[in-house]
Amino acid sequence: MNDLFSLKGRVALVTGSTRGLGWSMARGLAAAGAHVIVNEREAAVAEAKAGELSAESFAASPEAFDTTDAAASKRAIDNIVGRHGRLDILVNNAGIAHRQVLEEVSDEDWERIIAQNLTSCFRLSRLVAPVMKKQRWGRIIMTSSVMALIPRPTVSVYAATKGGLVSLTRALAAELGPHGITCNALAPGYIATELSAALQNNPDFDSYIRKRTPAGRWGEPDELAGPAVFLASDAASYVNGHLLVVDGGMSTTL
């Protein structure tokens, strides 16, 4: 049974994987046996975090590039395939949060967040598709958000991008499924990362999340590792076009 979840021999690129949810998913995939490509814009940061995985006897290497840069993204995929001869798993995780009331959101804000949270995921998926088609095996995983299902005030642009990822996931599942490629998405709820520190430190908001969530707490970043490994593994071979919500039950309650 454990072999169903093994990623031994697989090569996985996790974008935005030097901190937060990306780091937890990268460590999870590495622990399951994958060679993980650690991504960050800054080369020194990517190298350091890949070194941390190597120090734990996991297989890892860095690939520093800006996922919003089309030319850099193509070079990165070419580099990875050139070094490893394959690319089995793409986790489109790099993204940015944005909280602002609607009338204060500028066109530039909208375009910047769309470029990072949605366009980059489309582009990288397009780049890896020919590689995965040739292999007749591939896994594309999007990091969406519970905000795609139950948004709150001040997150209009962010929610739109995460909802767009859900639709993109389903469309790619339909198109790439016949080639042995699955595409699924994760929808994390409120997770205790450094990016959500301001919200955690707000007593009123912290209390609201704890009361609103059946689990009665914030999620931990490592709780995304298992779902990511599942969707990347043979255990999820017949799971395609699915949105796996990891929110402690928040989206199931009024």
Q: Under DSSP, is residue 141 helix (H, G, I), strand (E, B) or coil? A: strand
pLDDT over threshold 90, residue 194: no
CATH topology of domain 2-248: Rossmann fold (3.40.50)
Cα separation, 63 vs 144, whole angstroms: 23
pLDDT over threshold 70, residue 2: no
CA distances 240 to 95, 186, 200, Å, are 23, 12, 34
Determine which one of 158, 190, 208, 238 is catalytic.
158
Cα separation, 76 vs 59, whole angstroms: 18
Instruction: For residue 22, give every residue at least 6 positions away whose Cβ sits within 8 Å of its Cβ, in sequence order, or none.
Output: 14, 15, 16, 39, 91, 93, 94, 143
Write the pLDDT tens digit of every residue in 207-229.
Answer: 999 999 999 999 999 999 999 99
Give the pLDDT score at 158: 97
pTM of the model: 0.97
Give the pLDDT score at 1: 58
Q: Where are the domains of the chain?
A: 2-248
Write the pLDDT tens digit of every residue in 111-140.
Answer: 999 999 999 999 999 999 999 999 999 999
Give the model's confidence band at 197: pLDDT under 50 very low, under 70 low, under 90 confident, else very high: confident
Report the b/e string of 56-69 with b at 16+ CB within 10 A: eebbbbbbbbbbbe
For the chain, give the mean pLDDT.
97
Closest residue by Cα to residue 40 from 56, 58, 31, 52: 52
Beta bridge partners of residue 246, listed in sequence order: 188
158 a catalytic residue: yes
The mean per-residue pLDDT over the stretch 83-104 comes to 96
Strand order in the sheet with 243-246: 60-62, 35-38, 11-14, 89-92, 138-143, 181-188, 243-246
